[in-house]
């Protein structure tokens, strides 16, 4: 199935993962509204899509405000006559540990990632529901939102919040034929370029060389293009029955994340008092405690020098 005749908005698509998503949607036949705060990056992205034979226009504006969301939807409808797919990818980072994080550090990340996802999806859904032809909402999450990462209180909160919103939207939008899913990409980006563990993979990607199999297979870590196929699939008619899901993708790997479920359930007649918990915890509960953060296997020897 192609995306011929479909129209997509991709926020934060001037470069990196967002650009890869926009280009893949265009390759599959969709017309694309590119969005970025960098006017030159947005113009270059439009030119790259047009060079492939695709159709694209740019909206240069920061994601977060309702005005930007409405401008994006208006651009899709005015330029291409409809809106079928929304990919909310725009984001910023302000990494620091909790005790050093400022209000501005927190608010900036929440505003772009979480509020920006909300306002853009709301504007898109209002149009999709009125049009009555269904639609596809694809929101970009992160492993940080699933498991936490040191120094990313703001980013973790935003990405976990996106997952919660998407699950809710899948319920609310079902009758309108609009699906909502979260994609968790694991790829060489400006963010992962700063992590020493990924140095060999990021350098290979920068050099235009194949990534080592350890990263692609064991870690599910690849290029932006490795993620783009899932975006196009979820935007297509082939994914009409896929909604409310969190799907991780990177390198050679794809994963469907579980929704949170109780790891242990126990009952105590009369309720769980302090004394009952002190007595029962070591034997009954301690073994069910969940790990936090991502755990990576030890790097093979040939990649350790580049990570040091």
What amino acid positions are annotated as catalytic residues? 142, 155, 159
Q: Which two tokens stand for residue 237?
A: 């008619």
Q: Which residues of 264-295 are buried (b: 16+ CB within 10 A; e: fewer)?
A: eeeeeeeeeeeeeeeeeeeeeeeeeeeeeeee
Instruction: Write the CB contacts of 300 (distance below 8 Å, at least 6 apart in sequence).
Output: 214
Distance in angstroms (rounded) separating the CA atoms of residues 86 and 59 = 14
Give the pair of three-digit tokens for residue 172. 């609310």
Angstrom distance (rounded) from CA 155 to CA 263: 25
**Cα 152 from Cα 142, distance rounded (Å):** 11
Strands across the sheet containing 31-36: 56-60, 31-36, 7-10, 85-88, 135-140, 178-185, 246-250, 253-256
Burial of 81 (C-beta count, 10 Å sphere; 0-12/13-18/19+): exposed
Query: What's the CA gap between 293 and 151, in Å, rounded?
Result: 11
For residue 169, how far is the Cα from the chain centroid? 16
């Amino acid at each position: 199935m192609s995306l011929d005749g479909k129209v997509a908005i991709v926020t934060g698509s001037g470069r990196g993962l967002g650009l890869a998503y926009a280009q893949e949607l265009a390759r599959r036949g969709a017309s694309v509204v590119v969005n970025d705060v960098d006017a030159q990056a947005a113009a270059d992205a439009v030119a790259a899509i047009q060079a492939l034979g695709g159709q694209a226009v740019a909206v240069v504006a920061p994601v977060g405000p309702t005005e930007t969301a409405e401008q994006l939807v208006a651009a899709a409808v005015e330029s291409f006559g409809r809106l079928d797919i929304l990919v909310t990818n725009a984001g910023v980072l302000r990494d620091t540990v909790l005790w050093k994080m400022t209000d501005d550090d927190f608010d900036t990340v929440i505003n772009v990632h979480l509020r920006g996802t909300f306002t853009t999806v709301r504007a898109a859904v209002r149009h999709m529901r009125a049009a009555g032809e269904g639609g596809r909402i694809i929101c970009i999450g992160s492993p940080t939102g699933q498991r936490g990462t040191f120094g990313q209180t703001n980013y973790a909160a935003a990405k976990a919040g996106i997952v919660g919103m998407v699950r809710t939207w899948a319920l609310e939008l079902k009758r309108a034929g609009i699906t909502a899913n979260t994609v968790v990409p694991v790829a060489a980006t400006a963010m992962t370029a700063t992590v020493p563990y990924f140095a060999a993979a990021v350098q290979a990607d920068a050099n235009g060389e194949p990534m080592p199999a350890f990263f692609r297979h064991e870690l599910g870590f690849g290029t932006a293009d490795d993620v783009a196929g899932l975006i196009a699939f979820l935007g297509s008619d082939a994914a009409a029955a896929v909604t409310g899901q969190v799907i991780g993708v990177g390198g050679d790997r794809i994963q469907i994340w579980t929704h949170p479920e109780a790891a242990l359930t126990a009952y105590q007649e009369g309720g769980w008092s302090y004394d009952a918990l002190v007595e029962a915890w070591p034997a009954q509960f301690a073994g069910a405690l969940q790990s936090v953060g991502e755990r990576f296997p030890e790097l093979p020897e040939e990649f350790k020098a580049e990570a040091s």
